[in-house]
């Protein structure tokens, strides 16, 4: 039985021609020995809008899977209710391997601390099978050009000298977590200003209406002085310097020990999907994520390639819930 299952889900042999898809020049195509999964198109629900980092990052990988398997892995955007609508649709789908759902930090970790079970419509632990962490979305802290501090230690000193006087703009919940963890870890008090859009927060930071801006690296990197913009970088939120901004040290590297806040996108199936299919997808996606062309495409999106096993993702999310649940409740963070 075990040898039969292995043969069904692990036979991939041919190399995809570079002219077909530059990303997949080194990825194996299905051989004649390929088993029955997938034998038809696979729907991948993205619970956010077209053009979001979650959407575009997922499409890079679904395109690759389509080339590998010879079957269409197509994205269906189902935005609404901060991602809960699409995520619930994926979680409640038939667990036959032909509906998957792309989620991540805000939806599968943070939402349960800010919405009721009825509002969410699904339980991220009971209703979902983790497949793989697809990519990480580093955050960063940037400053108005008129703001005096140039690094984390100067920022801490300024915040302690005049508690509550430094305004910090942010336009998403993950940014708010960076702000709250920074304040807790450094013993500082700054004033959060919540914006509806990244663009509005950027405009006010560049003009000096607010001193600091916290957002994804993808949003802030093009606005940095080194990229022709007007913001100056203070730190990135990854534990170590990110390859996406190699000249900007992390908060942790600048003296705030163990500081780390990283969003991510990940792939799930409805609970009960055959384990062999989950393992097959995990194996193929790990191969795709290791390709230089994938890294190049993700770099352009401000994403770091992920990877690992389904258990790695489950364990990581359990640790994230244990970390952020108490902080969200203590800071009374509500949906933006």
Token pair of 242 as six digits: 């990110």
For the chain, the straight-line distance linking the first and the last C-alpha, in angstroms and rounded, comes to 50
C-alpha 90/C-alpha 296 separation (Å) is 29
Q: 218-231: per-residue pLDDT in tens?
A: 889 989 987 788 99
C-alpha 178/C-alpha 236 separation (Å) is 10
User: Closest Cα to residue 155, out of 143, 145, 146?
Assistant: 143
325 has pLDDT over 70: yes
1 has pLDDT over 50: no
Give how far Cα 280 sits from Cα of 7, 68, 112, 224, Å: 11, 12, 29, 41
138-236 fold: D-Maltodextrin-Binding Protein; domain 2 (3.40.190)
Q: Which residue has the tokens 């203070």?
A: 234
Query: Phi and psi dihedrals of 84, rounded to 5?
Result: -65, -35
Note the pLDDT of residue 54.
87
Note the pLDDT of residue 39.
95
Average pLDDT over the chain, rounded to an integer:
88
Region 208-225 average pLDDT: 92
What would the 3-class secondary structure string for the chain be? CHHHHHHHHCCEEEECCCCCCHHHCCCEEECCCCCCCCCCCEEEEECCCCCCHHHHHHHHHHHHHHHHHCCCEEEEECCCHHHHHHHHHHHCCCCCCCEEEEEEHHHHHHHHHCCCHHHHCCCCCCCEEEEEEEEEEEEEEEECCCCCCCCHHHHHHHHHHCCCCCEEEECCHHHHHHHHHHHHHHCCCCEEEECCCHHHHHHHHHHCCCCEEEEEHHHHHHHEHHHCCCEEEEEECCCCCCCCCCCCCECCCCCCCCCCCEEEEEEEEECCCCHHHHHHHHHHHHHHHCCHHHHHHHHHHCCEEEECCHHHHHHHHHHHHHHHHHHHHHHCCCCC
Q: What percent of the chain has pLDDT over 70?
A: 89
Q: 175-206: per-residue pLDDT in tens?
A: 999 999 999 999 999 999 999 888 899 999 99
Handedness of CA 80, 86, 92, 94 (dihedral sign): positive
11 has pLDDT over 50: no
Position with higher pLDDT, 313 vs 2: 313
Which segments of the chain belong to CATH 3.40.190.150?
Answer: 2-137+263-331
User: Closest Cα to residue 105, out of 97, 114, 96?
Assistant: 114
Handedness of CA 257, 168, 107, 237 (dihedral sign): negative
2-137+263-331 fold: D-Maltodextrin-Binding Protein; domain 2 (3.40.190)
Which segments of the chain belong to CATH 3.40.190.10?
Answer: 138-236
pTM for this predicted structure = 0.82
12-15 and 73-77 beta bridge pairing: unpaired
C-beta of residue 215 within 8 angstroms of C-beta of residue 175: yes
Question: Is the bond preceding 240 in cis, omega lying within 30 degrees of 0?
Answer: no
Q: 129-177: per-residue pLDDT in tens?
A: 999 999 999 999 999 999 999 999 999 999 999 999 999 999 888 999 9
Q: In which band, very low, low, confident or very high, does the pLDDT at 35 lie, cut at 50, 70 and 90?
A: low
Note the pLDDT of residue 36.
87
Q: 239-281: per-residue pLDDT in tens?
A: 999 999 999 999 999 999 999 999 999 999 999 999 999 999 9
334 has pLDDT over 50: yes
Cα 208 from chain centre? 29
Note the pLDDT of residue 225.
83
17 has pLDDT over 70: no
Q: 54-71: per-residue pLDDT in tens?
A: 899 999 999 999 999 999
């Amino acid at each position: 039985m075990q040898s039969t299952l292995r043969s069904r889900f692990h036979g991939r042999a041919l190399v995809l021609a570079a002219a077909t898809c530059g990303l997949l020049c080194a990825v194996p195509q299905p051989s004649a020995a390929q088993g029955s999964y997938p034998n038809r198109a696979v729907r991948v629900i993205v619970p956010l809008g077209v053009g979001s980092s979650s959407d575009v990052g997922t499409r890079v990988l679904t395109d690759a899977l389509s080339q590998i398997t010879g079957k269409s892995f197509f994205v269906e955007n189902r935005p609404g209710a901060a991602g809960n609508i699409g995520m619930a649709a994926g979680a409640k789908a038939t667990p036959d391997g032909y509906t998957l759902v792309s989620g991540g930090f805000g939806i599968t970790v943070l939402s349960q601390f800010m919405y009721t079970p009825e509002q969410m419509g699904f339980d991220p632990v009971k209703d979902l099978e983790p497949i793989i962490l697809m990519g990480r979305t580093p955050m960063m802290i940037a400053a108005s050009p008129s703001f005096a501090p140039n690094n984390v230690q100067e920022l801490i000193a300024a915040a302690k000298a005049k508690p509550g006087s430094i305004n910090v703009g942010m336009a998403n919940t993950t940014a708010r977590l960076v702000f709250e963890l920074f304040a807790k870890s450094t013993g500082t008090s700054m004033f959060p200003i919540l914006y509806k859009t990244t663009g509005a927060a950027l405009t006010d930071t560049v003009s000096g209406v607010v001193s600091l801006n916290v957002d994804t690296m993808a949003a802030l990197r093009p606005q940095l002085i080194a990229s022709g913009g007007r913001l100056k970088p203070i730190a990135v939120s990854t534990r170590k310097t990110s390859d996406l901004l190699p000249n900007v040290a992390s908060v942790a590297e600048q003296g705030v020990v163990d500081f780390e806040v990283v969003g991510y996108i990940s792939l799930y199936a409805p609970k009960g999907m055959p384990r062999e299919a989950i393992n097959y997808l995990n194996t193929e996606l790990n191969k795709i994520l290791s390709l230089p062309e994938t890294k190049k495409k993700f770099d352009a999106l401000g994403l770091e390639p992920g990877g690992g096993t389904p258990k790695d993702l489950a364990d990581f999310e359990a640790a994230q819930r244990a970390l952020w649940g108490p902080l969200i409740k203590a800071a009374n963070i509500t949906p933006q």
